[in-house]
Amino acid sequence: MSPELTLADVGFDQPETTVGLAVEHLARLALMLDLPPLGAGDPLPLLWHWCCFTPTAPTAELGPDGHPRPSEALRAHPRRMWGAGTLDLVEPLVAGEPATRRSAVAGVKRVDGQSGALLIAKVEHTYTQLGTERLREEQTIIYRSPGPPVPLPEGTTTPSPEDGAWRRVVDPDTRLMFRYSAVTFNTHRIHYDLPYARDVEGYPALVFQGPLSALLIAAEAAADAGRPLSSFAFRATAPLFAGLPFTITGRLDGPAGPAGTAGSAEITRNDGVVAMDATYAVSA
Q: Give which of 25, 66, 22 is closest to 183, Cα–Cα.
A: 25
Residue 7 has pLDDT above 50, yes or no: yes
The mean per-residue pLDDT over the stretch 171-196 comes to 96
**176 confidence band (pLDDT: 50, 70, 90):** very high
pLDDT digits over 58-114, tens only? 999 999 999 888 788 788 888 888 999 999 999 999 999 999 999 999 999 888 866
* pLDDT, position 40: 97
pLDDT tens, 137-170?
A: 999 999 988 888 999 999 999 998 887 799 999 9
Q: Which domains does the chain have, with CATH numbers?
A: 1-147 (3.10.129), 148-284 (3.10.129.10)
pLDDT of residue 255: 63
- CA atoms within a 13 Å half-sphere pointing along the CA-CB vector of 76: 8
Work out the pLDDT band at 1, boundaries 50, 70, 90. Answer: very low
CA 167, 168, 173 angle in degrees (round to 5)?
A: 165
pLDDT tens digits for range 24-73: 999 999 999 999 999 999 999 999 999 999 998 899 999 999 988 878 87
> How is residue 162 annotated by DSSP?
P
Residue 222 pLDDT exceeds 60: yes
pLDDT, the chain, mean:
92
Does the pLDDT value for residue 13 go beyond 80?
no
Helix ranges (DSSP H) in 3-97: 23-32
% helix, strand, coil for the chain, step of 5: 20, 35, 45
β-bridge partners, 29: none
